[in-house]
Amino acid sequence: MQITFLGTGTSQGVPVIACDCRVCKSADPRDKRLRSSISIETGGQRLIVDCGPDFRQQMLRADIRSIDAILVTHGHKDHLGGLDDIRAFNYINRRPAEIYASPKVQRIIKMEFSYAFEKEPYPGVPEINLHTVFNKPFAVNGQKVIPIKARHFNNNFVFGYRINDFTYLTDAMEISEPEMKKIRGSKVLVLNALRKQKHYSHFNLEEALAIMKEINPEQGYLTHISHQMGTYEEVSRELPGNVKLSYDGLVITF
C-alpha cells in the first residue's frame, strides 16, 4: 500500500491569504499546505479521499493519470469543492467518476453540482456515479473499506476510512468508543490536528496525540494543519517518536 499526501492543510490552506505570520512566510516547503486529501494505492487501484478546491493542482503535482474512486469524508467545501475537475478523468478514462459518500453528502453534491444531474445535461459536465456510504463496511472493486464515524461539530459527522492496516480520519473532534474499536490495530493512523489551542470542531494537538497514544500505531501522521500550529520544524521536535506532521507530497509505503 502506498499513501500520498496530496494536501495537509485546513480550509484556508497555508499560507493563508494576506497573512504575514511566520508560518505563512516560512521558506520551508513543508509549511506550504493545500487542502487535505490523500491518494491510496492498493490492490491495483487508486482511491482518492476527498476532492477539495485544490484537486486539479494536486492531480497535476502528483502526476496522477487515473483514479478508480473518490471517498468523501463530509460535505464541506474544502473537501468537496473540486469535484467539477473530475471531468478530465471522465475524458481520459472514458468512464464516470465513482464517488462514495453518505446520503447527506450526496444531497450536497446534487445541490452544488446540480448541472451534472440534469436530465439533459450540458455537454462536458462531470459524469458521476454516486455510491451510498452507511456506517458499515463496503467494497470498492473488491477492496474492503471500513467507515469510521466521528463528530465534527454538534450533530455534524464525518466519515474516516480504514483500509487494511491504514486508517485516515480528518475533521474530527470526538470519536465514540465503538468507532475507536474500528481504529485499533491500525499500523498507520492519520488524524487531524488543527492547532495547539482548543478548537470547537477539530482536535487540537494535545487531543490528537492522546488518541495516538491510546491507539499506539507503528506510525502516526497529523494532517489538516493550520498556520496556527507552528512551523513543521519546531512542532516536529515536540512530537513522540512514532508521530510525525504530514506535509504535502509526503509518500509512505507499507
Mean pLDDT, residues 140-150 taken together? 97
Considering the entire predicted model, what is its pTM?
0.97
Mean pLDDT, residues 34-54 taken together? 97
Q: What confidence tier does 194 reach under pLDDT thresholds 50, 70, 90?
A: very high
**Whole-number CA gyration radius for the chain:** 17
pLDDT by residue (tens digit) across 146-193?
A: 999 999 999 899 999 999 999 999 999 999 999 999 999 999 999 999
pLDDT by residue (tens digit) across 217-238?
A: 999 999 999 999 999 999 999 9
Q: Which of 59-63, 117-121, 218-222, 231-235 is predicted least confidently?
A: 117-121
Q: What confidence tier does 199 reach under pLDDT thresholds 50, 70, 90?
A: very high
Contact 174, 157 (CB under 8 A): no
Cα 39 from Cα 62, distance rounded (Å): 9
Residue 23 CA from chain centroid, whole number: 22
Cα 53 from Cα 227, distance rounded (Å): 18
HEC secondary structure over 156-206: EEEEEEEECCEEEECCCCECCHHHHHHHCCCCEEEEECCCCCCCCCCCCHH
pLDDT by residue (tens digit) across 86-110?
A: 999 999 999 999 999 999 999 999 9
Mean pLDDT, residues 7-23 taken together? 98
Average pLDDT of every residue of the chain = 97
Position 77 scores a pLDDT of 97
CA angle 13, 11, 193 (to 5 degrees): 85
Contact 186, 166 (CB under 8 A): yes
Q: What confidence tier does 61 reach under pLDDT thresholds 50, 70, 90?
A: very high
Mean pLDDT, residues 197-216 taken together? 98
Q: What confidence tier does 119 reach under pLDDT thresholds 50, 70, 90?
A: very high
CATH topology of domain 2-253: Metallo-beta-lactamase; Chain A (3.60.15)
Cα 233 from Cα 131, distance rounded (Å): 40
In the chain, where are the structural domains located?
2-253
What residues have CB less than 8 Å from 226, skipping those under 6 apart? 9, 10, 12, 14, 194, 195
Sign of CA dihedral 215, 73, 68, 9: negative
Q: Which of 233, 173, 235 is nearest to 207 (CA)?
A: 173
Peptide bond into 217 cis (omega under 30): no
Cell numbers that stand for 54 in this block: 485544490
Position 155 scores a pLDDT of 87
